[in-house]
Each structure stands twice: as C-alpha cells, then as structure tokens.
Amino acid sequence: MPTQTVIPQLRMTDAVRSLQFYVDGLGFAVDWEHRFEPGYPLFSQLSRDSGAGRQLIFLTQHRGDCEVGGAVYFVVPDARATLAAFEARGIWPTNPLEATPWGSWEFLLTDPDGNRLRFASDQVSDAVADDA
C-alpha cells in the first residue's frame, strides 16, 4: 500500500467547530496538536483510514499558513459507502454523488470555513464491489 507523501493544509477559523466537523462528522482522529503558548492559534494533524490507506491533513488557525477556501481531493474505495457513513453522522454533501465523464463517482463537502472536500472512487472498482 502506498504511503501518502503530501499532506494538504487547510485553514480553520474556529478550532472547536472545525474539529467537531472533521472528527465527529468525517471520522478523522486528532493525531497531535500544537500551540506555541496557551491561547495561541492551533495547528493540528488529523488522520482517517479510508479503507485503502491512511489519509492525513493539517488544520491550522495561523493566518500566514494558508487561506480559507482550499480544496482537497480524497480517493476512497467506495464513494457511495463513504457518503452514506458521513450522512449517518449528519454531514450532507454540498454536491451530490455523481458519475463523472472521467470514470469516477464523486461528491463534494464543504467544511465550516468553506474548504472544499471532494471524495472520489473509480466507477469500475465500485461495480466490482457491487457484484460481490
């Protein structure tokens, strides 16, 4: 299984609200958090098992790190099952699950800060899973 070698970094403006969305809603775990001093902006690493490997992201409150409104593309084994799991936790897509012309199933979520999270799986892989 390949190791993720790039970690996307997303800006958050309210750590409590963002962590609730990512942990409670999307099933990420907080691996670690850092603040230079109490009350300073939070920088954290989150991870989740996608079923095909570990996915990591950084969330940061530091204004100079990046801007709100970023985007991340997550590849998952089954986009339909992933969406169903999110909906069971009260997270609804911004754009519904759809088949793309390039052969994937994709849906879009938007986090509380406006960062766009697209989850995708290969249509062929899904068809094989459906036949099992």
Q: What is the DSSP string of 32-100?
A: EEE-SSTTSPPEEEEEEE-SSSEEEEEEE--TTT--SS-EEEEE-S-HHHHHHHHHHTT---SEEEEE-
Q: For the chain, what is the domain count?
A: 1
In a domain, 72, yes or no: yes
Q: What would the pLDDT profile of 67-118 be if each residue is shown by its tens digit?
A: 999 999 999 999 999 999 999 999 999 999 999 999 999 999 999 999 999 9
In a domain, 1, yes or no: no
Residue 47: domain span: 9-131
* Domain at 38, CATH number: 3.10.180.10
Q: What would the pLDDT profile of 33-67 be if each residue is shown by its tens digit?
A: 999 999 999 999 999 998 878 899 999 999 999 99
In a domain, 4, yes or no: no
- Phi, psi (rounded to 5 degrees) for 20: -60, -45
